[in-house]
């Protein structure tokens, strides 16, 4: 049986995400792009790319995985969440499965190689919903020496995570808050499922980084920020945590941007809870990596640019502490 779905009587159960949509013949799941056709799961956006760019890997944001390299980045339409502040809502909330340009896995890999990218990133919308396509691209990418990166809301099922072993190399997982009712009511997701995904990905040996968009009035209390930091630290203190500043977008136009003071306090809380690597994003400050042992400046960043990299074969040059991450592509 395909890891993508299982059969239950006259229906199939989509196993791509933790909604586990039960689909009758011709029915489409919550994501809008996976359908029961003839008793099998058909991915309606297979090969239909709605967004395609060459980005710095730092833009994902991924900081401890092949720094200062570029990643061919792609997305389709559709999403399994309904975040009202989505910054890519034009494609994520678009249900026109005919949108985008038709491309083959080979064309994407050839493009990545032509432009000397070191990885392919599945991003912009939720890549789990187009995993049947992403997997075919990723397998071909690996045959050609490329890494694969998922930028995700963390709603992958355990079945799909198992299928991703040896296929996907790195993840950035959004932890959008730490209140179950917030996830359920406003995002149409489930916090427990996301937290389970982070733990499972770490256990399976994927490289994992996490991101929290700090939204004023939604998830910016010190208690909630501390709860997120504690959770990440309980999985691994070496998981980098990206704190991203909110700006008004999509359905949330009535809030101002996140104050820099809130961002700086969130950074302090992350460090207080023992996280070795905490970074601020969407703000004009440097996002530097320091040795957790001797505090030497290792990687200096501004925006998506790496200004300085002092790592020596993945180690601190001053005290030889091994720095968590993937620093080579071979």
> pLDDT for 105-137, tens place per residue?
999 999 999 999 999 999 999 999 999 999 999
In this prediction, residues 3-32 reach a mean pLDDT of: 97
CA distance 291 to 297: 7
SS3 for 257?
coil
Residue 293's CB is within 10 A of a number of other CB atoms, namely: 14
Residue 180's CB is within 10 A of a number of other CB atoms, namely: 12
CA distance 31 to 77: 9
Is the C-alpha dihedral spanning 49, 189, 262, 279 positive or negative? negative
Q: Which residue has the tokens 């949330």?
A: 252
pLDDT tier at 214 (50, 70, 90 boundaries)? Answer: very high
Helix (H) or strand (E) holding 49: strand 48-49
Tokens of 232: 């990440």
Residue 195 has pLDDT above 50, yes or no: yes
Residue 114 CA from chain centroid, whole number = 25
pLDDT tier at 1 (50, 70, 90 boundaries)? Answer: very low
pLDDT tier at 330 (50, 70, 90 boundaries)? Answer: low
- Look at residue 267 in the predicted model and tell me its pLDDT: 98
In this prediction, residues 151-161 reach a mean pLDDT of: 98
């Amino acid at each position: 049986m395909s890891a993508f779905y299982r059969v239950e009587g006259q229906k199939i159960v989509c196993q791509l995400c933790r909604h586990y949509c039960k689909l009758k013949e011709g029915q489409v799941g919550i994501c809008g792009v996976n359908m029961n056709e003839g008793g099998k799961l058909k991915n309606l956006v297979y090969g239909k790319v709605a967004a395609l760019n060459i980005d710095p890997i730092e833009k994902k944001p991924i900081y401890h995985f092949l720094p200062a390299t570029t990643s061919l980045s792609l997305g389709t339409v559709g999403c399994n969440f309904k975040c009202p502040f989505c910054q890519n809502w034009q494609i994520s909330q678009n249900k026109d499965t005919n949108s985008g340009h038709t491309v083959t896995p080979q064309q994407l890999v050839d493009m990545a190689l032509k432009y000397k990218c070191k990885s392919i990133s599945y991003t912009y919308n939720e890549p789990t919903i187009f995993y049947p396509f992403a997997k075919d691209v990723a397998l071909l990418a690996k045959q050609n020496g490329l890494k694969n990166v998922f930028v995700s809301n963390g709603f992958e099922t355990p079945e799909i995570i198992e299928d991703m072993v040896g296929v996907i190399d790195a993840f950035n997982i959004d932890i959008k808050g730490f209140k179950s009712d917030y996830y359920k009511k406003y995002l149409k997701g489930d916090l427990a499922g996301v937290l389970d995904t982070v733990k499972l990905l770490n256990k399976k040996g994927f490289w994992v980084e996490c991101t929290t968009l700090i939204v004023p009035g939604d998830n910016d209390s010190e208690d909630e920020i501390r709860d997120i930091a504690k959770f990440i630290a309980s999985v691994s203190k070496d998981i980098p945590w990206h704190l991203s500043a909110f700006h008004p977008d999509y359905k949330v136009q009535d809030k101002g941007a996140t104050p820099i003071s809130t961002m700086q306090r969130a950074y302090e809380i992350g460090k207080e809870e023992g996280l070795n690597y905490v970074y601020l994003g969407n703000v004009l400050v440097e996002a530097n990596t320091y040795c957790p042992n001797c505090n030497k400046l290792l990687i200096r960043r501004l925006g998506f640019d790496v200004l300085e990299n002092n790592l020596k074969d993945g180690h601190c040059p001053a005290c030889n502490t091994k720095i968590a991450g993937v620093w080579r592509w071979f």
